[in-house]
Structure 1
Amino acid sequence: MIAVSRRSALVGRRLAAVVGAAALAVGGGTLLAAPAHASTPVNFATHCIPPAVAGLPPIDGTSTASITVDNTTPNVGDTVHVTYTLSQAAASNPTDIALPADVVTPHAVVVLGGAQTGTIAVTGPKSNPPLPGKGAFPPLVMTGSFVAGSAGAITLSPGDYTIHTSYVLELDTVCTVTNPPAPVSETVTAGSSVPVNNRAIALGSTSGDPGAGVTVTGSHFTAGATVTLAGRSGANQTADKATATADASGGFSATLTVNDKTTTGIVAYEGASYDPATAAGPAGYTVNDNTPVPPGAQKLTASVSPGSLSMTQAGDAVTMTAVDFGDGGNSTGALQTVTVKDYRGGATGWSLTGKVSDFTGPGGTKISADKLSWTPACATAQGSPSTCAAGTAGPVGSTGATLASAPDSTATGGQFTVDAQLSLDVARFSSAGNYSGVLTLTLT
């Protein structure tokens, strides 16, 4: 079963709701402890081929290595720097010749698994103490990097390595993993970057005559930043501009003089140009048309009041399918339908994102948040100015992913129906019982 709790709150343009917790029934048994993986030295069988000139047979032995990274929680697109430390090689100096310092160069690969597959080439400097003939190689350190390309847990295992010696002769000892892949030594959890923009503005008035000043009060901007205040006319910026400086708490108060009669809103942003993802507003503003009425005529004025950006849910509980102990597999379900209403008018789109907690089961056992994936779908109601787009299918995770969105445009708004198929990857020997996690949706 999946039991879900729900809460919602609207703050400015932002709405968050806890929409679901999956309580998953799994057949009886015991839970196998999760394998240690963070910076863990691992042993693995290795088959080494000494250089032919040494006249030695192949060597089958045990290597010990560990993988470390500079960032265990990158976002997709971030570069992760990797260090492969071979603390014990299965082979040794293949000759009877003593080697002087700094003549040994190691090369290797790190094997990626899980959410991202492939290999990383790593290499080390010539940095070794003097070695006696047939002496054991010292610990060898190699470095490289990769770009996180997929959200979720990415495992790193030590792979094949080559030890090159440059003294008298150029010799290579080539060692391969006997039963690849080697055990996992490190895991990084990559998340989809879901930017949080808390910047907000409030206007001292919502209308005024041409040339009137309106007080703009801002909050949650970067302390000390120069903030541009500007009028907007649909998707375009008008010539009405002013600047303010955010104080130590990120707030400001300034006056913008509005002359353009086509102005429909006011925005505030940092940087050289307006970016709706990091700006505040638009806050609705109307310029009064005080053009004189000709004799014998009557001026007729009608108005449309802007509404809000909101969402509702068809329910707050999701029941997912059970899986059997010993088999594991995917526990599936469907997100309760979310209805988004964008009744603000103007030119700003919206984004609906989600993140999930770990699933907690019997005795505090857990299924990691990155094991939940979704396949989003989004439908636009007839007549809506905007068209929504479903997010990319894949892991949700604790850092979040996009469920659906609608872009900025000359005219935006409408009603949208958002759904998603859910799938939780359950390990074969997870403890029997119910597992619950909380999926939180945020509309901005």
Structure 2
Amino acid sequence: MGSTPPRSRRSRRWRWSALFGVTALAVTAGGALAFPAGAAGTNVDFATHCVPPAVAGLPPIDGTTTANVSVDNVSPKVGDTVTVTYTVVTAAASNPTDLALPADIMTPTGKVTLGGAQTGDVTVAGPKKNPPVPGKAAFPSFSMTGTFTVTKPGRITLSPGDYNIHTSYILELDTPCAVTTPPAPVSQTVTATDGTPANTRAISLSSASGDPGASVTVSGTNFTPGATVTLAGRAGGNQTADTATATADAQGAFSGSLVVKDKTTTGVVAYEGGSWSADKGAGPAAYVVNDNSPVPPGSQKLTTTVKAGTLSLSQAADSVALSAVDFGKGGASTGALRTVTVKDFRGGPAGWSLTGKVTDFSGPGAKIDAGRLSWTPACATRPGSPSTCKAGSAGTLGATGATLAQTPDGTLTGGEFTVDAGLSLDVPAFTPPGAYSGVLTLTLT
């Protein structure tokens, strides 16, 4: 008979294999979870084949998954972006051991299958977040989100698809779970209607000014091929009597000449159809008619020039110290973004957008996911500014980024603005003690 390993060695070997096995299965079962805001779909059941990592030493798991697909808009238009949330309510397996699992070790990813008027897969992903799970207890449900752009009108069906759970506990492990007989039953349906295509028409001028009666060459792109395009002067928000026509070529481009006589002209537009429409036009491109009227005897003509400036950003400082949290409790680590000043001195028709994104917070042998940082933006406009600043929506920032503030396009834009934001980092309860830092990058366009 072979020798029997010492008890301590047998016990230690069992604990490690149990850890690996539970890590592999930790997120393959679920309990009750409230569905996210939006239009919830129907719970559906489908057969699932899950394959634990080889290190777990466990056979494949064939079981039943209960899932739900919700959307933020059940009646989108072509061109709209729809946010999809795939929630695994009850997965195909459960924790088979007495070993408790810590919080925030699982990161789910998956796909939602589109059918009907539009086909394909929507990639979805969830945050690295879960409560502690006692041994032999049911695992919590988890949700994953993603987006798709509507490309065709009609009924589009959404079915839950394959999902994978990545766990970060002792080892980095994956547990893929596939739909046994795809596609799974339909959980959600949206009905898309024809939408107005995005207007990408654009024009440029050969000169930004000229004497009364001088002609300016107007060049355009992305107009409807073969369309008759009207070229017209603008005086503020009104059209002048100076007009001409051009014809777009097979690529939607044109070049035409417009004689500008009206001294009140501030810009030039180009449009398809019988009258100006922002949906089928481009401009205004800034244009000034020189005042060359003769000077009466005994008078002096005075002229000045207003020079266009730039779009710029400055900030009060380049570091923010968030409040400390306690090990074992975690919670919100809060602070405030250093005030950002935006100066738009371009003097044209374009607005601006200020966006931000953040990296993961790195610390002593660990990190806090970027998706745990959220902000509440605020924006103030200096009195007298032609534009009005609008703050972005409060919510998660993360590595993908979000809008902090913006101003719209207009006949004449510009001004000075101050932008702020409250910051909150959701720190997991048992994050190792130490200092963690991430980089928040702001981009002004």
Normalising to structure 2: TM-score of the pair? 0.52
Match for residue 367 of structure 1? 368
Stretch of structure 1 that moved more, 200-209 or 223-232 = 223-232
> 1:372: Cα distance to partner?
1.4
Q: What is residue 406 of structure 1 aligned with on the other side? A: 407
Q: 1:327 aligns with which of 323, 326, 329?
A: 329
Distance 1:232 1:283 in 2: 9
Contact 1:229-1:244 at 8 Å conserved across structures: no
Pairing partner for 2:88 from 149, 152, 157: 157
Aligned to 2:311: 309
The corresponding residue for 1:183 is 140
Residue 262 of structure 1 pairs with residue 264 of structure 2: yes
Residue 422 of structure 1 corresponds to which residue in structure 2? 423
Residue equivalent to 2:71: 146
What does 1:168-317 align with in structure 2 at a 5 Å threshold?
183-188=140-145, 203-215=205-217, 231-236=233-238, 240=243, 254-259=255-260, 260-266=262-268, 273-274=277-278, 283-291=285-293, 299-317=301-319
- Aligned-partner Cα distance in 2 for 1:157–1:354: 31
Report deviation, 1:403: 1.8
* C-alpha RMSD over aligned residues: 5.2
Partner SS, residue 343 of structure 2: strand
1:312–1:437 distance in 2 versus 1, CA, 3 Å? same
8 Å contact kept, 1:208–1:288:
yes
- Normalised by the length of structure 1, the TM-score is 0.52
Equivalents in 1 of 2:305, 2:427: separation in Å?
55
Rate the CA distance shift 1:243–1:433 in 2: closer, same or farther, 3 A: farther
Matched position secondary structure for 2:306: coil
Distance 1:336 1:158, change over 3 A: same
Distance 2:358 2:226 in 1: 33
Please state how far the C-alpha of 1:426 moved relative to its aligned partner. 1.3
Secondary structure in 2 aligned to 1:120? coil
8 A Cα contact 2:67 2:86, kept in partner: no
Name the aligned partner's letter for residue 274 of structure 1.
Answer: A
Structure 2: gaps spanning 5 or more residues:
1-18, 47-62, 75-81, 92-135, 149-197
C-alpha deviation, 1:339, in angstroms: 0.9
User: Which of 344, 347, 355 is the equivalent residue of 2:346?
Assistant: 344
Cα deviation, residue 400, structure 1: 2.9
Structure 1 contact 370–397 (Cα < 8 Å) conserved: yes
Q: Distance in 2 between matches of 1:318 and 1:262?
A: 50
The 1:434–1:230 alpha-carbon spacing in structure 2 relative to 1, beyond 3 Å, is farther
Q: Per the alignment, do residues 141 and 382 of structure 1 end up closer, same or farther by CA in structure 2, a change over 3 Å counting?
A: closer
Question: Pick from 96, 116, 120: which aligns with 2:41?
Answer: 120
Which residue in the other structure is 2:103 paired with? none
Is the partner of 2:29 in helix, strand or coil? strand
Aligned residues: 307
Q: Which amino acid aligns with 2:356?
A: G
- Return closer, same or farther for 1:394/1:283 CA change in 2, 3 Å cut-off: same
Give CA deviations for 1:160-185 in whole Å, capped at 9, x if unaligned.
9xxxxxxxxxxxxxxxxxx9996335
Amino acid at match of 1:351: S
1-side partners of 2:436 and 2:295: how far apart? 70
Q: Which residue of 2 aligns with 1:88?
A: none
Cα 1:279–1:152 change in 2 (3 A) is same
- Residue 383 of structure 1 is matched in structure 2 by 384
Deviation, structure 1 residue 399: 3.4
C-alpha deviations, 1:313-349, integer Å up to 9, x for none?
A: 2222222222222211112222121111122335544
Q: Structure 1 residues 43 and 241 mapped into 2: Cα distance closer, same or farther (>3 Å)?
A: farther
Looking at structure 2, the residues matched to 225 and 362 of structure 1 have their Cα atoms a distance apart, in angstroms, of 64
- Per-residue CA shift, 1:291-334, capped at 9, x if unaligned? 45567765444332222222212222222222222211112222
Kindly tell me: are residues 382 and 390 of structure 1, through their superposed partners in 2, closer, same or farther at Cα, counting changes over 3 Å? same
1:395 alignment partner in structure 2: 396
Q: Percent identity?
A: 53
| Amino acid across the alignment from 2:88 | S
Instruction: Tell me the residue number matched to 2:432.
Output: 431
Note if 1:43 corresponds to 2:29: yes
Output the CA distance in 1 between the equivalents of 2:308 and 2:290: 16
